[in-house]
């Protein structure tokens, strides 16, 4: 299974069924970004550490029986507005 090919709905179901972890899903997506973004230029800034921290927190929540609330996706247009507010360079 190629995690980077899953739809959001498939990813949600896989996480809930514990077929893979949030960290595994995030790492697959980050690997895909690293592989392709040099040619595509789709991202200005990729917060890999923040994504991995959020994924680890999501895995803890799921392990504690909490429901998965959301799955984040990349957003190129919002980065110029939101990232400076968070102290992330654009």
Looking from the CA of 31 toward its CB, the CA atoms found within 13 Å total 10
Please give the average per-residue pLDDT across 12-25, as a whole number.
93
Q: How far apart are the two ends of the chain, measured CA to CA in Å?
A: 33
Q: Bigger pLDDT: 40 or 74?
A: 40
Average pLDDT on 53-63 reads 92
Is the CB of residue 83 less than 8 Å from the CB of residue 46?
no
pLDDT of residue 76: 54
Q: What is the pLDDT of residue 25?
A: 95
């Amino acid at each position: 299974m190629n995690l980077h090919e899953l739809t959001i709905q498939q990813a949600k179901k896989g996480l809930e069924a514990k077929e893979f972890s949030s960290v595994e899903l995030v790492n697959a997506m980050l690997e895909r970004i690293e592989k392709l973004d040099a040619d595509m230029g789709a991202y200005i800034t990729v917060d890999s550490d923040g994504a991995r921290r959020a994924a680890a927190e999501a895995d803890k929540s799921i392990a504690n029986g909490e429901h998965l609330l959301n799955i984040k996706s990349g957003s190129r247009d919002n980065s110029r507005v939101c990232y400076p507010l968070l102290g992330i360079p654009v």
